[in-house]
Structure formats: C-alpha cells, structure tokens
Structure 1
Amino acid sequence: MKPSYSVSARLRFCQRRMDNRLIAYTFGPKPSAFVTPFFQSSTLKQRILMLQKSETNRWAVVKYGFVALLTFSLFIFVAACEDQAKQEVVNNKEITVSGQILANDGKPLPGANIVVNNVERGTTTDVKGRYKITVPANGTLLISFAGHKSQEIAVGGKTVVNARLVEGSDETAGRFSGQTTAPNRTAEKLTAEQDKEHIFTVVEKHPEFPGGMIGLTRFIHENLRYPEAAQKAHVSGKVFLSFVINTDGSFQDIQVLKGFGFGADEEAIRVLKAMPRWKPAMQNGKLVRVKYNLPIKFELEDN
C-alpha cells in the first residue's frame, strides 16, 4: 500500500505544478515584454547602422549651408544676367518712329532736322512738319531748326514722338572753327567732280553764317524788304527755304519748302542769294556739302 500512495502523491504534485505553470503563463507577464524584438531582420539592420554612424560635425553642417547658399546665389545671378541680356536685345532693336515737329505757335516746321544721337543717321520734316525714321528702341532724337532751340527726346520704345520748338538761339547749334570765306560770291556753278560729291543731311559740324545766328538775324533784318502786296493785304508769316551749302560756302538748289505768297517767297530767295558765303560743314575732318533749311519771318510792324 505504501508504494501505491507514493505514486499517487507524486502525480498530484506534478498536476498542481503543471496547473500553476499554466495559470502563470495565462495571467502572468509575457516573457517577450522584457526582450527587444531583434528577431525582425529589417529593424536589426537599421539599428546596427545607426549604432555605427558617427555624430554629425557642426563644421559639416556649416559647409553644407554655405554650399546651399552659394548654389542659390549662382542661380539668382544667372537668372539676372539672362534678364539683362534680354533687355539689351529689346533696347537695341530697331523701330520706326514717326511724328510731327511744330513751332511754338502750333504751326508745322518743314525742313526741321531729326538726328539720332551717336549715330550718323537723320532726316528732315516735310511741308507738314512730319517725319519718319528708323532708330534703336533706346535711342535719343536731337531735333533742331534754325532760329529755334534744339530738343533732345529719348525714344524709350515709343513709335510716335512729337515736339514743339521754341524760337531762340541754341548755344550748341552751328558752331564751327573754320575760316570765313570771301563774301558776295554765292550760287556759283560747281565742276562736274564737285557736283558728284555726296550731300549730307547729318554732319558733325554744321555750316554757319559768318557771325553765327546773331549775325544771320541781323543780316536778314537789315536786308529784308517787306513785299508791297503783303503789306496791302496785311499778311505775315514765314517762308521756309531749303538749299545746299557747298564746300566753298556757296549755295545751290534753293527751294521753297513752304511759303505764303504775296511776293514773300521771292523776297526770301533774294535775301538768301545776297548773303555772304557761309562757313561750310565738316564730317570726319573734311569739308562736305550739306542740305540746310532756313525760315525767314515776315512780320508787319505795329504803327
């Protein structure tokens, strides 16, 4: 009986021990809660790489920042250069500019000179004071007329440029350092070679009446005779003359651009022919023939 009891007691002990283990496994803490899950290969590889990676140096951060700033600055510089290049192309583009040149009283100025600054290119206005010329989009027009103050007008990309000139002397117009030619010798016939010489409309140094604009005004005032027909009709106005000044200061191809009749046109031509030789124009250090426009004013004196 003793052996049978011993075996039965041992079996009950083992049963209770097994029950305790099952209860502890069911309701107790899991063993995996205290263990890092290294069994996942991706997580394990990532952690090993992080453990082997050295700490980032502050100097490296500064270098990275400097490189980024330099790259950004170069990008801005290149973009600015491209914009400037595009703007220069636009500014240097040739455009056609037209307009009308008027006197201070609102009347057209035929024969006014339109010159592109720093470019040997120019034109003159027609009988209605209108003109047309091709210029750079960022160019500047120099507008002048005898007996009037010159004007410089920036084109600024505009295709229409009008101007109104005020009467008066222009300090920069018509200056010339040559010698005065012999007077009272005008409208001489040129030789065949002289007649083939190019006639300029734009020159570096303009022709000049002996004594300048003051001398020209004085000469016209002293020699102009008011036509009788104009006096009887009580009319006044301006006669616009166009002529070529030769290299010897004589005149050629005198034309009336605009007149008002009553004998005034003929009187203006007579006074022009009576003038002494002008100081001729110069271009590139040489005497040249040039087309010139001159207004002669007829005005009745108040009694």
Structure 2
Amino acid sequence: MFEKLNIFKSEWLEVVFEGRNKAYGAYELRKLGPKATNIALAIVAAVVAVFSATQVFNISLFPKSDAPQQEIAFTEEVTLEDLVEELPPEEEKPPVEELAPKIAESKPALDVVALPEIKPVPKEKAVETEVATVEEATDKKKLIGPTAMKGMKGGAVTTEGKWGTKDVAGAATGSTKGVEGGTGTGGADEIFTAVEVQPEPPGGMAAFRKWIADNYAYPSGAIDAGVKGTVQVSFVVERDGSLTDIKVARDLSYGTGQAAINMLKKAKKWSPGIQNGRPVRVAYTLPIRLDLTNM
C-alpha cells in the first residue's frame, strides 16, 4: 500500500493525518505548502527577469526628464570666518620693589650700671694645726687654735687639719680668696669661697670640733668591716647662719657619709660670713677622719 505512495502529492498528507484533527492549523499549512512555494518561486523569477531585461536591452526604468537644468550663479562671494572669541589683553603688573630688610632695634631689658671696682681681699695665712689628745681637747685653756681629736673612746672620730685655703687630710677648710674679676657685690644667691669675715660656729671652731667628736654616730656596719679613713662633706653657711646643701664629697660606704650628713643637720646656726658689710652665703668643706685604733 505504502510502496506506491507519492510524497509530492496530497496522498501522503491524508495518510499522516488519518484519524487526527484535520481542522488544526498544521494540516492546512502542509496542504497549502507546495502551492505557496510555487507562487514565491514565480515572483522571484519574474523580478529577476525584469532586471535582466533592463540590462540586456538598455531599458531605463526611471527615464530622465528632458527639461534643461539651470545653473545658479553666485555673484557675491561669501567668506566664512572662524569665530574666535578675542580675549582682552592682560594688563602688565608693575614690578614689585624689593625692600631691604630692616633690623629691629630693641631697647635693652636691663640698664647697665657701672659698679665701683672692689679690691680683692688679701689672702690670709694658713694656720698650722697641732694634734691634741682627747684630754687636751676637753681642756678649754688648751683649745686655742684648730685641733684634732684622736683616739676617742667609743667613737674614733677625728677632725684634723687647718681652716684655710689648703685642703689637707681631715681638714675643715674654707677659702679666703675672692673670685678673680668679680665685682665684689654678688647676687643674693651667690656662694662665696672667701669673705672678709669668716662664718663661725657657736663657741668657736674648737667647740665645733668637740661637738663633732661627741655627736658623730660611727655606723656599726663600718665598725664591723673595719672601715677607716676620711669622709669629706661640704655645706653652705647661709646668711642666717644655718647649714644647707650638705653633700658627701668623699664616702667610705657602710653609711659613714650619711652619718656625717645627719650629724650636720642637727648643728646649731653659725655666725654668717660678712662681705662688704653684709651677710653672704659661704661654702665650706669638712673632712672627718675615722680611726678604729683605740676602739
């Protein structure tokens, strides 16, 4: 049955849609498909034939008009200029004159006062010291000059040497020479190393040495370690006679230097040093020799 079926005819379409809904669009499209194809091919062939005939037979589809064309002549020449916005010329700025720097003149903060020349105080001669025993030190008749106390039982403390310009072992010293080139006036806080009238402890230097021998607390650690030698302290005798700025210049450790500081803090006020008729601050150095020989 299907062997003699021609697919180019509508017979195959009937076979395909047998028992199906033929009112659906697919059946109509397939049925009209060959016809539509033939119509399209005919239209394409006709268009090709027309264009081919125009080329072969030189036929113009759009004939040109035979009316003469008039040329328009321009009698006035028009020139297009570039539209450039002209900027106003820049004004030349006058040159800046460089002014020479001026140095500000300031008035001195302090008025310079010419001080009168003060002649330096002449250097006093050093007073030699003789060593005295403890018994001699307790005898006021024999304490005329600076003495040394040696071999004190229970506390071997010795202040020996001279009170003057030289710093000898164990000496309590203070310079009597003025500052070279100084004015002799000095400020309120100036510390002098030499003055016209030296400061003096209550009762004189002999009493001060005895006071040191009686009040110096020999540290027990230093005694156990067998420490001996010279502890050197420095201090300032203020204008009211009090001792300030107490420092240890040479320490033997084991608390020996601190013991000297604690002792001097308990000292009574001295008579202040006098320079140009007024009390001034004076610096002193006090060596204290510790000896365990007679302990």
Question: Does TM, normalized by the shorter one, top 0.5?
Answer: no
**TM-score grouping bracket, smaller chain normalisation:** 0.3 to 0.5
Q: Specify which structure has the higher proportion of helix.
A: 1
TM-score (norm 1): 0.39
Larger Rg: 2
What is the TM-score when the length of structure 2 is the normalising length?
0.40
